[in-house]
């Protein structure tokens, strides 16, 4: 199916303004995005697209707009007519959810998941589902359901995961912004790989993330939260405010006054809790981005200093156990385990073989790690770490390895992300430099509880420098 492609504003904020004033109709915006999806199929960003359903929703939004008196249009939903897409891990009514797995039966979802419902209430339209790894397990988005999500900066390389399809769509200019989810780096890894802003909110900042409580079934900290992927800090703020249903859009307002932010105490650290298990080598470009970000922050009037942070050497084992413990609860049809990806199958078998007490012990260890990390990081307003340790690996580089080596490569590539999920704190991925070949290297900033707006302000400062 092909579509005419009207021009769209570059930023999500500008697109929102055009939709709310009537300069652009929801159907025109949706048609343009569908055309971009169609033209960029080789990128592997989308698993499925519901074009007719999306156009029907867009027409309904236009009808609502037409019924609204001109002087009342400011009261339209904040994302009125905004075309978005959701990871293929979340339910969108009428869309199939594969969870990236060939081992599960697939049928259209009967209702929206809570996060999707929040964005639908905010006026956003759901165009389709984006590529993910099986059950969101890995930091790359390759599975047996659809072609892999490729990096728009270098299509031979991964876009990251588990929000890889969403990040590829935003980085390629297909989508204005995209909601992601992050259980160990799943927003920040693809954001860093694709040169985007990726905000991982603290646990509870988006209310729907606490639907099942702050601890998982084994007493470990709940890891997964929802957040935005965007090309700019202001666009990330817009989607973050929508995800949390914030009245008055405080994050958008905070980013608008980012130039006023001064005097933060920022600790600089390249320590990783995975160092006790294996080396964590940083590519020269990763070190350069880290150093450059520290210099920029000092030049912006912040107090930047080296942070002596030490992590519990038992973290790698505890995290590996806790990260896969949920696989022991996965119910599959008879014989379906043969259709699992090799990593999923091996780690599920191991999780099933562990004693329940071992899972509970890992949960206790992760809770203790979280408390210690929060205390150490809490000496600073924010902690600056490197982003990814090296270039995004090539498509297939992970899956051609034994699952244990696959997992180790993921930990070596992204050694700074999972610890923040365990601690339940907010963090943001920010692009800092681009190599001559066009690859992006960035950094991560870890904030205190409730500091999401400050992190977005810092992102605005660094990307505007």
- 418 part of the active site: no
- Residue of 40, 48, 162, 226 marked catalytic: 162
CA distance 11 to 196: 13
- Cα 101 from Cα 97, distance rounded (Å): 9
Which residue in 40, 87, 113, 181 is the catalytic one?
87
**Nearest-10 crossing angle of helices 233-244, 114-121:** 110
- Find the distance separating the first CA and the last CA of the chain, reported in whole Å: 42
Whole-number Cα distances in Å, 389 to 192, 442, 451: 10, 10, 25
Q: Of 40, 163, 181, 186, which is the active-site residue?
A: 186
Q: Judge whether 250 and 453 are in contact, CB under 8 Å.
A: yes
Torsion of CA 271, 274, 277, 281, to 10 degrees: -60
User: What is the residue-wise DSSP string for 277-318?
Assistant: TS-----HHHHHHHHHHHHHHHHTT-EEEE------TTHHHH
331 among known catalytic residues: no
461, 259 contact by CB (below 8 A): yes
280, 300, 315, 431 from 273: Cα distances, Å: 10, 30, 6, 23
Q: What is the DSSP letter of 331?
A: -
* Catalytic (active site) residue 162: yes
| Furthest CA-CA distance within the chain | 64
State residue 462 phi and psi, 5-degree precision.
-70, -40
Catalytic residue set: 87, 162, 186
């Amino acid at each position: 199916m092909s579509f005419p492609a009207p021009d769209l504003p570059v930023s999500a904020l500008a697109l929102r303004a055009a939709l709310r004033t009537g300069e652009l109709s929801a159907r025109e915006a949706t048609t343009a995005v569908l055309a971009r999806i169609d033209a960029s199929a080789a990128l592997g960003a989308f698993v499925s697209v519901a074009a007719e359903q999306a156009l029907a929703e867009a027409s309904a939004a236009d009808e609502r707009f037409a019924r609204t008196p001109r002087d009342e249009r400011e009261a339209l939903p904040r994302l009125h007519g905004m075309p978005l897409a959701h990871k293929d891990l979340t339910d969108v009514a009428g869309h199939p959810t594969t969870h990236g797995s060939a081992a599960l039966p697939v049928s259209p979802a009967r209702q929206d998941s809570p996060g999707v419902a929040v964005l639908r209430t905010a006026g956003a339209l759901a165009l389709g589902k984006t590529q993910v790894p099986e059950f969101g397990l890995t930091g790359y988005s390759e599975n047996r359901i659809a072609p892999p999500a490729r990096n728009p900066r270098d299509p031979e390389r991964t876009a990251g995961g588990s929000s890889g399809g969403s990040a590829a769509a935003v980085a390629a200019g297909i989508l204005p912004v995209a909601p992601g989810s992050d259980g160990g780096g799943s927003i920040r890894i693809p954001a860093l790989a694709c040169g985007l802003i990726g905000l991982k909110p603290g646990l509870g900042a988006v209310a729907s993330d606490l639907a099942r409580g702050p601890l998982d079934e084994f007493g470990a900290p709940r890891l997964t939260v929802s957040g935005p992927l965007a090309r700019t800090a202001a666009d990330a703020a817009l989607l973050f405010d929508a995800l949390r249903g914030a009245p008055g859009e405080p994050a958008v307002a905070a980013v608008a006054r980012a130039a006023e932010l001064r005097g933060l105490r920022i600790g600089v650290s390249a320590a990783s809790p995975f160092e006790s298990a294996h080396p964590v080598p940083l590519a020269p470009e990763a070190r350069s981005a880290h150093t450059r970000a520290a210099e920029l922050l000092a030049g912006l009037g912040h107090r930047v200093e080296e942070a002596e942070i030490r992590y519990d050497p038992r973290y790698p084992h505890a995290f590996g156990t806790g990260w896969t413990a949920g696989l022991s609860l996965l119910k599959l049809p008879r014989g379906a385990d043969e259709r699992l990806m090799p990593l999923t199958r091996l780690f599920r078998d191991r999780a099933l073989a562990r004693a329940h007490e071992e899972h509970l012990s890992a949960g206790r260890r992760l809770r203790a790690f979280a408390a210690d990390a929060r205390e150490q990081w809490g000496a600073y307003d924010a902690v600056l770490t490197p982003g990814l340790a090296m270039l995004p690996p090539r498509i297939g580089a992970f899956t051609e390895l034994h699952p244990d080596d696959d997992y180790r490569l993921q930990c070596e590539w992204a050694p700074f992300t999972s610890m923040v999920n365990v601690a339940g704190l907010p963090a943001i991925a920010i692009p800092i430099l681009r190599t001559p070949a066009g690859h992006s290297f960035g950094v991560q900033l870890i904030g205190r509880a409730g500091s999401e707006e400050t992190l977005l302000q810092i992102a605005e400062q660094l990307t505007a420098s």
